[in-house]
Structure 1
Amino acid sequence: PWMPPRDEGAGVIITRYVEFAFSYRELISSGGFGDRRSQMLDAFAVLLVELHLLGCFWGDCSLSNVLYRYDAGAIEAVMIDAETVELHEQLTAGQREHDLEIMIMNVAGGMADIAAEAGLDLDDADLSLGEDIAERYAQLWDELMHDEVIKSEERFKIRDRVSRLNDLGFDVEDYRLVPVADGNRIRMRVTIGGRSFHSNKLRELTRIQASENQARQILSDLQYYEAHHAADRPSLKAIAAIQWRVGVFEPLLERIRRESPSSDPIQGYCDFLHHRYLMSVTAGRDIGSELAFEDWLSLGRPGYDATQPRPGAADA
């Protein structure tokens, strides 16, 4: 994703408008921030991990240098200020730690400013927000980067490890198996790609562009459709994907656009899928899309409730 520093075009910055995004002040000032806090921490930590995997030292990571977007039942963080960025082949542990220290300090300052503007005592400011982000960063980094040692007869764990990383949204570009000295075990070392596993898969199957968690939910809807229309004929799945897009996805997306022209239609589709899932759970049976869609509209197009656990593929 980065151009070599010495390339002719490397000094050119191409910007784009971040649609359907909001600032941290909008998120924090909303009545439900307590429920969204955990999602904000995850989004910030994931963004830092992605940048560090790319060899990007931010140097000025702060709340005001990030925008947020709803991403199905989660929140996505987007870097919007890269003036202080340094690009390296690979970041050292010291560089990553320094970036985290800057983030912790800047985030604490941002939370202190918000408390002051609200007339709150400094003790009431969420000054530990940055430290909580750093803790989640460390957990995710360890999950991505640690070497896994497995017994020679347990090679099925190789697939398990790749699946876990894919579930987190990360592509596995490559992995190496290195024998351990005792000869009975092997060490698995993975090379992590970007966090675009589900979005890439959705684009390859349907040419639909969506963020990572949105893509995961939409893929589950496609799989639900395939199970009913191509379960016995795997060769028909490619055709089923086209039929689903033309006959299900695009008509509903157009109706969502008409109902709310200023909102993100892809997020609206994910909200609808979640509503259909909840209706099906309550009824104890599958609820059809048309009935669920009309009910969703009548209730004012409810989104994900941050206090509820997020279902995975069961959202289909």
Structure 2
Amino acid sequence: MDLQITATDPEHPAALLDLPWSIPLEDWPEEHLVALPRGISRHVVRFARAGDEVVAVKEVGEWAAVREYGLLRDLDRLAVPSVDPVAVVTGRTAADGTPLEPVLITRHLNGSLPYRSMFETTMRPGTISRLLDALAVLLVRLHLNGFAWGDCSLSNTLFRRDAGAYAAYLVDAETGQIQPRLSNGQRDYDIDVARVNIAGELLDLEAGGSLHPSVDPVLFGQAIVERYGALWHELTRESVYPLAKRHYIDRRIRRLNDLGFDVAEMQIQRSPEGDAVTFLPKVVDAGHHQRQLLRLTGMDAEENQARSLLNDLETWMATQDDYAPGDPLGARPEVLAHRWVRDVFRPTVRAVPRELRGSVDTAQIYHELLEHRWYLSERAQRDVGLEAAVEDYTANVLPNRPEAKPLDEQGELDEDSLT
């Protein structure tokens, strides 16, 4: 059988051809390898340079390589944090004709480390807790997308620093499977495997003297169960709020945002007792809200501003009589968004005296008004509405801002130009 390279990018095969495929991976010459920290693996794994990229090369059976390659491509399409698949190489033979194992090639995740490298100096308990938080978030994201991992562990995860926290990435999907929806039993199995694996990995570190003496491996293994359970409940529970408690919806969205999840869709069902609000969280890529807001309204805002405005837009849309998702007779989101700009956004911003705005652009003004309404509503324990928020914001917040030159001299967005 001839050497065959199945790659995701047409440019990869040419760069990969220069690697010594006729040599067993464990014997590859140093000239092809890149010295990077490796985690524990049941397979032979090496980092190599392919053109301008650094890739991870893993020897594994052909069926397993092709299957994991497909799973990683699926996770990539679902925007779940995982390593990027590059290629599968089959048909390898040694110089004497002996068949060699196929390999799975993935792109090296820049700035990431396996957990063992992070424990080379004794890690404090607080840092270990942040690693477990990141792993719990990753596991929830996988489960929300119907991915049963089957072997969740610190060893099968890469960690990358994310400001004061950590982000976790799946690095080994060999035992995984994707389904439309996971059962509670499948999720419980994954969580129990994670608990046992994490406790065992920390016990191994303890035996090697690399674990802080205050860390109990068994308790930290159990901690992943508790973190996962709290996060899953927060993301999937259905909430019922009275109409007068609209600010509770904002509070819930804030909690989800603080947990690192964006609310890409909200289903709001009105009933005589109140509004039944079901949040369907979806991990979205950077700039998602900017693009969504620009598409719906024509407004070009910063990401956090766009997230705030979209949350308000979606909540407002659900109160409209002609809002009927999935109904061909219902108003399209673009139509409702245009109405929101005309009837809500624009009048609200215009109610704020221009001389008090200074250099603050209109998207930021509206975002701050939403923040102020939430603050006032929390204090009053009822939704005070935008009018009251504008009045209080104009009287008590804007006058205390430092002086700034007028908005029109800054060339910022003018609400009159919005369509």
TM range (shorter): 0.5 to 0.7
After TM superposition, what 4+ stretches of structure 1 lie above 3 angstroms from structure 2? 9-14, 122-125, 198-205, 232-237
Q: 1:147 to 1:236 in 2, by over 3 A?
A: closer
- Tell me, in whole angstroms, the C-alpha distance in 2 between the residues paired with 1:189 and 1:204: 21
Query: Which has more radius of gyration?
Result: 2
Matching residue's letter, 1:109: G
Higher relative helix content: 1
Compute the TM-score of the two structures, normalised by the length of structure 1. Answer: 0.56
3-state SS in 1 of match to 2:244: coil
Q: Which amino acid in structure 2 is aligned with residue 147 of structure 1? A: E
Deviation for aligned residue 1:137:
0.8
Separation in 2 of the partners of 1:158 and 1:119? Answer: 45
| TM-superposed deviation, 1:19 | 0.8
**Alignment-derived partner of residue 45 in structure 1:** 136
Equivalence for 1:187: 276
**Residues 30, 199 of structure 1: alpha-carbon distance in 2 compared, 3 angstrom cutoff:** farther
Q: Give the superposed CA RMSD.
A: 3.5
| Structure 1 position 202, deviation (Å) | 7.7
Contact 1:169–1:195 at 8 Å: present in 2 too? no
Of residues 66, 73, 77, the one that matches 2:164 is 73
Q: Which residue of 2 aligns with 1:111?
A: 202
CA distance in 1, matches of 2:210, 2:236: 43
CA contact 1:111–1:126 (8 Å) conserved in 2: yes
Alpha-carbon contact 2:157-2:172 (below 8 Å) kept: yes
Question: Aligned residues: percent identity?
Answer: 35
Deviation track 1:183-240 (CA, whole Å, cap 9, x = no partner) reads 22221111110165x66458999xxxxxxxxx98xx9xxxxxxxxx983443899xxx
Aligned equivalent of 2:258:
167
- State the AA in 1 paired with 2:282: G
| 2:222 matches 1:131 | yes
Number of residues paired by the alignment?
206
* Matched AA of 2:362: P
The alpha-carbon deviation at position 175 of structure 1 amounts to 1.6
The change in CA–CA distance for 1:85 and 1:230 in structure 2 (over 3 A counts) is farther
Alpha-carbon distance in 2 for matches of 1:124, 1:74 = 19
For 1:135-214, list aligned pairs within 5 A. Answer: 135-179=226-270, 183-194=272-283, 196=285, 200-201=288-289
Alpha-carbon distance, 1:115 to partner: 2.1
Counterpart Cα distance in 2 of 1:195 and 1:135: 25
Take 2:292 and 2:129, find their aligned partners in 1: how far apart are those partners?
31
Do the aligned partners of 2:266 and 2:277 also contact (CA within 8 Å) in 1? yes
Shift of the 115–172 alpha-carbon distance from structure 1 to 2, 3 Å rule, reads: same
SS state at 1:153 partner: helix
Larger RCO (CA within 8 A; separation ≥ 6): 1
Structure 1 residue runs of 5 or longer lacking an equivalent are 1-8, 206-214, 220-228, 238-316
The answer to whether the 8 Å contact 2:200/2:217 transfers is no
Q: Once structures 1 and 2 are overlaid, which stretch shifts more, 97-106 or 165-174?
A: 165-174
Name the aligned partner's letter for residue 277 of structure 2.
Answer: M
Q: Give the number of the structure whose residues are more often strand, by fraction.
A: 2
In structure 2, the gaps of 5 or more residues are: 1-68, 74-84, 87-105, 294-302, 308-356, 366-419
Counterpart for residue 107 of structure 2: 16
Where does 1:223-238 land on structure 2 (aligned, <5 Å)? 231-234=359-362
Report if the CA contact (8 A) 2:136-2:228 is conserved.
yes
Q: 1:56: how far off?
A: 0.5
SS of 2:218's equivalent in the other structure is coil
Cα pair distance change 1:173/1:103, threshold 3 Å:
same
Structure 2 CA distance for partners of 1:166 and 1:172, relative to 1, 3 Å: same
1:42-92 CA distances to partner (integer Å, 9 max, x unpaired)? 111111111111111000111111111110010111110000011011111
Contact 2:264-2:280 at 8 Å conserved across structures: yes
**One-letter amino acid matched to 1:93:** N
